[in-house]
Amino acid sequence: MDNVLSGKRIIVGITGGIAAYKAPLLVRLLVKAGAEVTCAVTDHALQFVTELTLETVSGNRVYKELFDRQNPHSTEHISLKDWGDAMIVAPATANIIGKMANGIADDALSTLLLSFRKPLFIAPAMNTQMLENYALQRNLDYLRANGVSVIDSASGELACGSSGNGRMEEPERIVEAMEKVLSTESHCSGKRVLITAGPTYEKIDSVRFIGNFSTGKMGFALAEELASRGYEVVLIAGPTQLATSHSGIRRIDIVSAREMYDAATREFPSCSAAILSAAVADFRPEHEADHKIKKQSDQDDMTLHLVQNPDILATLGTMKREDQLLVGFALETDNELENAKKKLAKKNLDFIVLNSLQDKGAGFGHDTNKVTIIDRSGNIDIGELKSKKAVAKDIADKVALLIGN
Ligand code: CTP
């Protein structure tokens, strides 16, 4: 099979970090994979790598000035953005990341980035403290949430003499990451999968809520995994700090169980499958005060009256058509298998993922999980403790087996 990069036109953006010395190698690897490459550089990048080197390895003129009359693309940066099928900024400094996240266009490269609408990759490279800075992390999260593929930096020796995270990923790995994303995008099956993730918050008054410890990690790992396989993912997320990175994920943020219910019942009919991993609050306060409830001076206790929330999974079970797949999660502490099997039947599921709270490292907040998958035919697959990413792969394998790619 042809390499996915073969015949593609790739713009390699280069900014002013020491890792720019590796950019010519990246260009060579892309050319070797069959891509046509044009480099777009900042002034500072040219302190680290010469224009002549880049022109020699790419075989194309370097784009560096907005108003360079010699450059066929220069009168309009627009023509270069139309020319490129994908773009990678490597290395991406904190400065260009800040500009991208804030829509700043003050030179040739940032102007081009602002108008570029096709697959976009960045490979950050900087000193560890800069990388860990809250503003930089916020900018990266924002770019990820808006479909930019961030190729995370690696740990190792840094130019400043210290060692830590912040080294630009090696050009070979960058090319592999680009191939992975571009090949899944080109093989998008068009099948849509609905995922619910995270907790729900049920308001008591204007400042308090009933919630739970779910972080959403499992559901988000599932969304990324399925999107990377070419499924169109609709992710309905409760309140969480997590960001999504794949452009194949459409995210709907909600707060309460009823909002999650509304979004899920609206989206489900157009989906081939739904995987409900959210930790939905079973009950909510009957009355929600629109002001902060004050405690009275002689008050020793307080009673909150709760009413039941709709069961989203059970509702989708009643809506499910023959051609749809429905997957639930179960969190049990006693009679785990029996209860999970009962839930599978009662809610009309195709399979259920039983979460164990008994095992160290599994469940809420952890990066690992240990699950047992039980299907309609009675097959029981007991998993090991694995990363949530690996568990997501197992679940995605089973989904793919049942609905196809
Ligand atoms: N779920 C849902 N809507 C609810 C409650 C739960 O969609 N109102 C879904 C969860 O996303 C999960 C599954 O139902 O996929 C099981 O949730 P769990 O809390 O284990 O079970 P419940 O059905 O709430 O039953 P119980 O609390 O009695 O164990």
What domains are defined for the chain? 9-187 (3.40.50.1950), 189-286+299-403 (3.40.50.10300)
- Whether residue 219 contacts residue 197, with contact meaning beta carbons closer than 8 Å, is answered with yes
H or E element at residue 115? helix 108-115
- Whether residue 38 contacts residue 72, with contact meaning beta carbons closer than 8 Å, is answered with no
Does the CB atom of residue 312 touch ligand 1 within 6 A?
yes
Does the CB atom of residue 336 touch ligand 1 within 6 A?
no
319 C-alpha to center of ligand 1: Å? 17
The mean pLDDT of 308-315, rounded to a whole number, is 98
Task: Determine which of 66-70, 73-77, 78-82, 141-145 has the lowest per-residue pLDDT on average.
Answer: 73-77
Q: What is the mean pLDDT of the chain?
A: 91
Residue 316 CA: nearest ligand 1 atom is: 7
pLDDT of residue 170: 96
The mean pLDDT of 79-106, rounded to a whole number, is 94
Atom 21 of ligand 1, nearest CA residue? 330
Say what the pTM is: 0.61
pLDDT over 70 for what percent of the chain? 95
Closest CA to 62 of 76, 46, 81: 46
Q: What does each C-alpha distance from 363 to 260, 279, 332 come to in angstroms?
A: 21, 11, 11
Return the beta strands (E) in 246-324 as ranges: 249-253, 273-276, 283-285, 306-308
CA 206 to chain centre: 31
pLDDT of residue 77: 58
Per-residue pLDDT reduced to its tens digit, 118-150: 889 999 999 999 999 999 999 999 888 777 899
Catalytic residue from among 39, 160, 188, 271: 160
Tell me the Cα Rg of the chain.
25
Task: Select from 236, 254, 258, 282 the residue to mutate for testing ligand 1; criterion: most ligand atoms less than 8 Å from CB.
Answer: 282
Within 13 Å, how many C-alpha atoms sit on residue 384's CB side? 3
Q: What does each C-alpha distance from 322 to 106, 316, 348, 405 come to in angstroms?
A: 55, 13, 11, 18
The mean pLDDT of 150-174, rounded to a whole number, is 88
190 pLDDT exceeds 80?
A: no
Q: Nearest 5 degrees, angle CA 274-CA 280-CA 322?
A: 25
**Phi/psi of residue 202, each to 5°?**
-110, 115
- Whether residue 20 contacts residue 89, with contact meaning beta carbons closer than 8 Å, is answered with no
Name the token pair of 328: 């639930």
Does the CB atom of residue 356 touch ligand 1 within 6 A?
no
pLDDT of residue 30: 98
pLDDT of residue 185: 62
Task: Select from 256, 280, 364 the residue to mutate for testing ligand 1; criterion: most ligand atoms less than 8 Å from CB.
Answer: 280
The mean pLDDT of 353-368, rounded to a whole number, is 79
Does the CB atom of residue 331 touch ligand 1 within 6 A?
yes
What stretches of 187-308 show up as alpha helix (H) in DSSP?
Answer: 217-228, 257-267
328 C-alpha to center of ligand 1: Å? 8
pLDDT of residue 78: 63
Residue 310 CA: nearest ligand 1 atom is: 8
pLDDT of residue 167: 93
> Is the model more confident about 364 or about 23?
23
The mean pLDDT of 10-18, rounded to a whole number, is 97
Question: Is residue 160 annotated as part of the catalytic site, yes or no?
Answer: yes
